[in-house]
Structure 1
Amino acid sequence: MTEDAPTIIRLDDVSFTYADAVKPALDHVSLEIPEGGFVGVIGPSGAGKSTLAALLSGAIPHHYRGTLFGSTLVDGSDTCEVTLTDISRVVGSVAQDIDSQMVASAVEDEMLFGLENFGVPHDEIEGRVTGALGACGVLDLSGREIATLSGGQKQKVAIAAILALRPRVLVLDEPTAALDPASSTAVFETLRDLNAEGVTVIVVEQKVALLTAYCDSVVVLSEGRVAFDGAPREVFSHADELRALGVDSPRVTRVSNSLAQHGVMPPAPPCLSVEEAEGLVADLVRGRTGRGADIAPFRAGSRHIPATAARVTGAEPVVSFRDVCFAYPGSGACVTDLSFDVYPGELVGVIGQNGAGKTTLTKLLNGLLRPSSGSIRVAGLDMRDTPTSTVAAHVSTLFQNPDRQICKDTVLEEVAFGLELTGTPADVARERARAVAERFGLPLDEAPFSLSRGQRQMVALASVVVMEPEVILLDEPTSGLDYRECMTVMETVREMADRGCAVVMVCHDMEVVSDFAERLVVMADGRILGQGETPEVFADVELMGRARVEPPQIIALSTALARDVSREFAGVSQVSGIVDLVKELVSHD
């Protein structure tokens, strides 16, 4: 993108209030999107990100009812004066809720729908379909039924269907929310390739490390207004203000900002990549000591490495899989020889790429599926012949899509519902539900479906937490949450583990996994490739490669520093550990 690129989308003092809402979702927003730009949009839940995406795609004013002020120009045309079809020929959009965007039952039909409606010549269609599916890495899914796809696979198909239309502008609302790290990177690589060909890309995204790696500008929204708008390095230099808004910064950015705040280095623009942070730390350490990797041997039990929670002596596992196998009839998808244990008070992460078998593992654990061979024991129950209703009294599950487990009219009723089903008196259930809902900051009397996607996720989790089960099963618990909500949820989960609950968490956010999971189970192709303590597993480069998992930034940084600067960095998994160790090393010159 050149600095003098023409503007493809312009927002001039735009405000929008949804019908029946009191507070505007967007409040006096002015933006210019240059043609060929790659723009990231971030902000806490309820900041107006999805509303902005709907505005840019023409869904506002043509689909959503409400009060709109100001003007939105797409390629010079006011969106209020042209049809949604006209806008769609310029702007292709991928919604946050993929299921609501799908119009066909088969992948091939989904791909053909837009092309045929746009009158694309028949001799071009096959090439467009093949090219778009291939660009998203899902060409092998072309013959599948959409109902058989995982959430991540459906996300890729939805993106491919829009790419096939070859729009000049792509607007994507959290396109990687359901994707594993490698697939998330693959999507952004695809977007970068399209951007290099001249397509303007605007992406709403919570994964700030991806935005810093690919975007040339970042817009931060807060309470419907633009809080920051600029280049990534400029925006993330305001880390303290961003955190106050509920917006995270890349972990390596935290490292460089913290080193400056502690006086280890003078104020400077923040690091945005592992490579930049490694170079910074290497220069600081070598500049003070003049020595490299032999500065200090690695010390077992270093105070810079978080201690693993002690397991109760003699405790029996509350979850035990032994040689478990299962295959879905007619699909070929299966899991094979799954063996692992989870003990009371443990928080175990299950990681792996989309389609690795993680969700199947969770359904075997909570009794929704029965193993074809092998044994599963949960809370002393043999899962072969235990009714699912009995299992539910011991295992509470948070599903990947919270909307599939919400059914009541108010938040309070929803959180209390599970307790009442299991026989807790209504007044006691409501009192317990009120305490948990208030802990999560949820509005007790509002309808769950009137809340944002992130808030609905928290309602669903609150209904799980209130049950105080022996096992909590979390399938992507932080999907759709902003940084503040994510920390609230995970701190609550950790407190439950501290009280003796066993937690099994399937999660694609490797930063969350690194911060909270004590042990990891790594899956690929329906099998367990490895398991062990979190820092050791993430530092196993060969294992991560086989599983197509990208380790979190701090693990990648500490591994590189242990190799090239000092073995003392081995196993460090937290920003504070890196910063404290650098301070220690540079003070002993």
Structure 2
Amino acid sequence: MIRFADVSVTYSGAAAPALHGVDLTVPEGELCLLVGGSGTGKSTLLGTVGGLVPHFTGGTLHGRVTVAGRDTRTHKPRELADVVGTVGQDPLAHFVTDTVEDELAYGMESLGLPPEVMRRRVEETLDLLGLAALRDRPIAELSGGQRQRVAIGSVLTVHPRVLVLDEPTSALDPGAAEEVLAVLQRLVHDLGTTVLLAEHRLERVVQYADQVIWLPGPGEPPVTGTPAEVMARSPMVPPVVELGRVAGWSPLPLSIRDARRAAGPLRERLAGLAPVPRPRPAPGDPVAEAAGLVVRRGALEALCGVGLTVRAGEAVALMGRNGAGKSTLLSTLAGLHEPASGTVRVGGLVPHRSRPRDLVRKVGLVPQEPRDLLYADTVAAECAAADQDAQAAPGTCRTLVAQLLPGVADDVHPRDLSEGQRLALALAVVLTARPPLLLLDEPTRGLDYPAKARLVAELRRLTALGHGIVLATHDVELAAELADRVVVLADGEVVADGPTADVVVSSPAFAPQVAKVVGEGPWLTVRQVTDALEARP
């Protein structure tokens, strides 16, 4: 269905090709998973399938990409639209209408499908993706995860033969991610749709893949094989595979079910042991307090009587399904929303009544869309502006960028960075002011495993220095690694608030992979298991 014949892509001004020596086939009716670190060319490879590369993005394409027999060099994206459906990392870039139902119908209107066909497909897609309750909602009022589902739905209604998806579950809660993956499975198995997707959260998708394409690095040819073959070689693997390596299992498990079947001897070795506690500072004074917080967004009551206290040196994870109110709570703490009732104070200030130049020294917010914080033409200019705004010593921001984003040149434009790289740059910009309270909205969206490890290390360093951190996340593995507390929101209300181990282990949706495999005891991460086994007499 998709054929890459010695494909290389080089962008203007780049020192090396973004892709090199791609020679492979994606058969019809298979789900093919594309893996690799940030900046290794995954989005470029996906873009070549629908003709976006090079017709839209520019650059030079060497070799040949054919989709259902059509050569993308001679067929522009609009001439491939009936065959290829593409959803990129940024759902907002796809939307052309104002409401959910109109967006689902737009692609079919462009192809001139009959009204009765359009109506039937819209209803089918609303049900498939759990969007029926949102059909009349303005897209501007949706959460990031809800927008992600609408973007996927707008492509599905056209019934393409090939689906190309870039980080399709990155903004979805665990339940919604499972629903989307179940839909993709149904399309592959029942309709013979070919699905090519890139995803950093391998724990969610690797067990469903028929084939895996691993991009080792810029300019290096890809490695292809079955999921088991590639996971045995890849440096980036989900926790369940990493646990299998620690335990010496062969073959390595790809799913929770496979790992549980092999985990008997490991459970016996861990019997009587407990996770080695990680040194953590005692929580200090409150850096943020909210009580009885009610926030309305239009006719929607996004927060209903929320209470939250965050102390210095504490990391708190906000979890819950898409639309539960997590982003609204972060935005209210940052002064972007005025509460309808209740109180909120950050560092002694009332956020929505404070001047930005005063508030920036108390709280920093990294939003879901990091580009909202980036305005300069180069990384160096962005860092210089951050130093000036924060009245920090020159080079402070650039040092943070080097820690979080090694290898990025000063003259690179932020728009040319990958989604994960832009996030790291935005985080460095916010951290330059060293605010006592740091708010992060989906901070691992677009990050590969090494980048996530660097982020966790930096956030742990900040909590050790006394910063309070609140992160809204669907990444249960991040919460297990970093958070002292987990607060679960549902329909704008707090439904759980407690130590991470107590909250996530009791929840099938939010439990990390290690907890599901090992079962007994508060085991949350592979590192905990490794440290306990090494410390055993």
TM-score by length of 1: 0.86
Cα contact 1:182–1:550 (8 A) shared by 2: no
Deviations 1:387-440 (A, max 9, x none): 444222210111110111101233233234244235x2xxx5423223223323
Residue correspondences, number:
533
> Is it true that 1:371 corresponds to 2:356 in the alignment?
no
The residue that corresponds to 2:502 in the other structure is 536
- Letter in structure 2 aligned against 1:473: L
Which runs of no fewer than 5 residues in structure 1 stay unpaired? 1-7, 261-266, 289-294, 563-569
> Is it true that 1:577 corresponds to 2:528 in the alignment?
yes
> Is it true that 1:92 corresponds to 2:63 in the alignment?
no
How far did residue 444 of structure 1 move?
A: 2.7
The residue that corresponds to 2:324 in the other structure is 356
Cα contact 1:93–1:172 (8 A) shared by 2: yes
Cα contact 2:100–2:138 (8 A) shared by 1: yes
SS at 1:535 equivalent: helix
Alpha-carbon distance change, 85 to 371 in structure 1, aligned in 2, over 3 angstroms:
closer
The residue that corresponds to 2:207 in the other structure is 213
User: How far apart, CA to CA, are the structure 1 residues paired with 2:78 and 2:352?
Assistant: 53
User: How far apart, CA to CA, are the structure 1 residues paired with 2:376 and 2:262?
Assistant: 53
Cα contact 1:415–1:460 (8 A) shared by 2: no
Q: How does 1:84-483 map to 2 (within 5 A)?
A: 84-197=77-190, 198-221=192-215, 222-238=217-233, 242-243=234-235, 248-260=236-248, 268-283=250-265, 303-307=274-278, 309-312=280-283, 315-330=284-299, 332-383=300-351, 385-422=353-390, 424=391, 429-440=393-404, 441=406, 442-483=408-449
User: How far apart, CA to CA, are the structure 2 residues paired with 1:284 and 1:360?
Assistant: 42
User: How far apart, CA to CA, are the structure 2 residues paired with 1:506 and 1:316?
Assistant: 22
Deviations 1:112-149 (A, max 9, x none): 22111112122211001111122111122211111111
How far did residue 156 of structure 1 move?
A: 0.7
- Letter in structure 1 aligned against 2:117: E
How far did residue 307 of structure 1 move?
A: 4.3
The residue that corresponds to 1:524 in the other structure is 490
User: How far apart, CA to CA, are the structure 2 residues paired with 1:59 and 1:318?
Assistant: 46
The residue that corresponds to 1:292 in the other structure is none
Alpha-carbon distance change, 256 to 318 in structure 1, aligned in 2, over 3 angstroms:
same
Cα contact 1:61–1:79 (8 A) shared by 2: no
CA RMSD of aligned residues (A): 2.2
User: How far apart, CA to CA, are the structure 1 residues paired with 2:389 and 2:79?
Assistant: 51
Moved more, 77-86 or 170-179: 77-86
Alpha-carbon distance change, 445 to 521 in structure 1, aligned in 2, over 3 angstroms:
same
Deviations 1:198-234 (A, max 9, x none): 1111111111112222111111112143442111111
Cα contact 1:416–1:463 (8 A) shared by 2: no
Alpha-carbon distance change, 382 to 147 in structure 1, aligned in 2, over 3 angstroms:
closer
SS at 1:333 equivalent: strand
Alpha-carbon distance change, 62 to 511 in structure 1, aligned in 2, over 3 angstroms:
same
User: How far apart, CA to CA, are the structure 1 residues paired with 2:74 and 2:355?
Assistant: 59
Deviations 1:162-194 (A, max 9, x none): 100001111111111211121111111110011
How far did residue 283 of structure 1 move?
A: 4.8
The residue that corresponds to 2:513 in the other structure is 553
Alpha-carbon distance change, 179 to 533 in structure 1, aligned in 2, over 3 angstroms:
same
SS at 2:322 equivalent: coil
Alpha-carbon distance change, 82 to 417 in structure 1, aligned in 2, over 3 angstroms:
closer
SS at 1:187 equivalent: helix
SS at 1:492 equivalent: helix
Alpha-carbon distance change, 323 to 19 in structure 1, aligned in 2, over 3 angstroms:
same
Moved more, 15-24 or 365-374: 15-24
User: How far apart, CA to CA, are the structure 2 residues paired with 1:115 and 1:23?
Assistant: 39
- Letter in structure 1 aligned against 2:332: L
User: How far apart, CA to CA, are the structure 2 residues paired with 1:102 and 1:231?
Assistant: 35
User: How far apart, CA to CA, are the structure 2 residues paired with 1:258 and 1:284?
Assistant: 10
Alpha-carbon distance change, 224 to 176 in structure 1, aligned in 2, over 3 angstroms:
farther
SS at 1:355 equivalent: coil
Alpha-carbon distance change, 309 to 581 in structure 1, aligned in 2, over 3 angstroms:
closer
Identity of aligned residues (%): 35
How far did residue 21 of structure 1 move?
A: 2.7
How far did residue 456 of structure 1 move?
A: 1.2
User: How far apart, CA to CA, are the structure 2 residues paired with 1:307 and 1:490?
Assistant: 13
Moved more, 350-359 or 446-455: 446-455
SS at 2:477 equivalent: helix
How far did residue 511 of structure 1 move?
A: 0.7
User: How far apart, CA to CA, are the structure 1 residues paired with 2:384 and 2:529?
Assistant: 43
User: How far apart, CA to CA, are the structure 2 residues paired with 1:57 and 1:318?
Assistant: 48
Alpha-carbon distance change, 150 to 461 in structure 1, aligned in 2, over 3 angstroms:
same
Cα contact 1:219–1:226 (8 A) shared by 2: no
User: How far apart, CA to CA, are the structure 2 residues paired with 1:395 and 1:134?
Assistant: 40
- Letter in structure 1 aligned against 2:214: V
Deviations 1:521-553 (A, max 9, x none): 111110111111111111123xx5xxxx33210
Cα contact 2:276–2:531 (8 A) shared by 1: no
Cα contact 1:398–1:473 (8 A) shared by 2: yes
SS at 1:529 equivalent: strand
Alpha-carbon distance change, 510 to 421 in structure 1, aligned in 2, over 3 angstroms:
same
Cα contact 2:16–2:218 (8 A) shared by 1: no
Cα contact 1:211–1:218 (8 A) shared by 2: no
Alpha-carbon distance change, 308 to 181 in structure 1, aligned in 2, over 3 angstroms:
farther
Alpha-carbon distance change, 227 to 258 in structure 1, aligned in 2, over 3 angstroms:
farther
Which runs of no fewer than 5 residues in structure 2 stay unpaired? none
The residue that corresponds to 1:26 in the other structure is 19
Cα contact 2:51–2:75 (8 A) shared by 1: no
Cα contact 1:555–1:572 (8 A) shared by 2: yes
SS at 2:394 equivalent: helix
- Letter in structure 2 aligned against 1:554: V
SS at 2:153 equivalent: helix
Cα contact 2:274–2:532 (8 A) shared by 1: no
SS at 1:334 equivalent: strand
Alpha-carbon distance change, 255 to 526 in structure 1, aligned in 2, over 3 angstroms:
same
Deviations 1:428-463 (A, max 9, x none): 542322322332324333322232222111110001
How far did residue 87 of structure 1 move?
A: 1.9
Deviations 1:534-583 (A, max 9, x none): 11111123xx5xxxx3321012223x3x1xxxxxxx11112133356678
- Letter in structure 2 aligned against 1:433: C
Alpha-carbon distance change, 457 to 310 in structure 1, aligned in 2, over 3 angstroms:
closer
Moved more, 430-439 or 525-534: 430-439
Alpha-carbon distance change, 135 to 429 in structure 1, aligned in 2, over 3 angstroms:
same
